[in-house]
Amino acid sequence: MSTLFEKLGGEGAVDAAVDIFYRKVLADDSINHFFETTDMAAQHAKQKSFLTMAFGGPNNYTGADMRAAHAPLVAKGLNEDHFNAVAGHLQSTLEELNVPADLIGEVMAIAGSTKDDVLGR
């Protein structure tokens, strides 16, 4: 029985998705101020870690890590609309890559499971 990560195409799939995904996020004026950074390469690596986790791949993220990492953004007003906007970009990235709908559903469920931690609730 192959894992979700394997079904999606493993690390190659993450590599294919990360540039499309991060570009959508940066181009979205409703959320891109949360991603302003002087180190785009580091930010890009973080997006890749996030996608790896959402794809069911190897990661060591805990809810506490998610909370701590997003706390400064919550302080700046990060809310459910922003979370949903990012999730929407993830979904459309996967659609653009012709990922089957059932696998998209599994990815979106993993991403959705982080909501309370990301929003510090």
Partner 1 sequence: MPEIIYKGRVYPGEQDETVLDTLCRHDVNVPFSCRAGNCHTCMLHCLNGEVSTASQQNLKPALKALNYFLPCQCVPSSDIEVNLPDEEDVYVSARLVEKAKLSPTVWRFRLETAVPVYYHAGQFLNLKNDNWVRSYSLASLPTEDAALEIQVKRMPEGEMSHWLIDEFSPGMHIEIEGPHGHCFYTNDSPQRSILCIGTSTGLAPLIGIVRDALHQGHRGDIHLYHGVRMREELYLHEMLQAMASEHSHFHYHACVSGDEASDGIKHGRASEIALEEHPELKNWQVFLCGAPEMVQKTRMKAYLAGATMNDISADAFTTPDH
Cα 34 from Cα 3, distance rounded (Å): 32
Cα 69 from Cα 117, distance rounded (Å): 10
> Which of 38-46, 66-74, 84-92, 112-120 is the region at the interface with partner 1 (rule: CB under 8 A)?
38-46
Residue 79 three-state SS: coil
Q: Where are the alpha helices (DSSP H) in 28-98?
A: 40-54, 63-75, 80-96
CB 25 within 8 A of CB 31: yes
Residue 112 three-state SS: helix
* Total residues in contact with partner 1, by rule CB under 8 A: 20
Tokens standing for residue 105: 């559903």
> Which of 2-10, 55-63, 71-79, 83-91 is the region at the interface with partner 1 (rule: CB under 8 A)?
55-63
Q: Which of 48, 70, 82, 89 binds partner 1 (CB under 8 A)?
A: 48
- Decide if residue 80 touches partner 1 (CB under 8 A): no
Q: Which of 3, 6, 27, 84 binds partner 1 (CB under 8 A)?
A: 27
CB of 16 or CB of 87, closer to partner 1: 16
CB of 63 or CB of 100, closer to partner 1: 63
> Which of 1-9, 47-55, 66-74, 111-119 is the region at the interface with partner 1 (rule: CB under 8 A)?
47-55
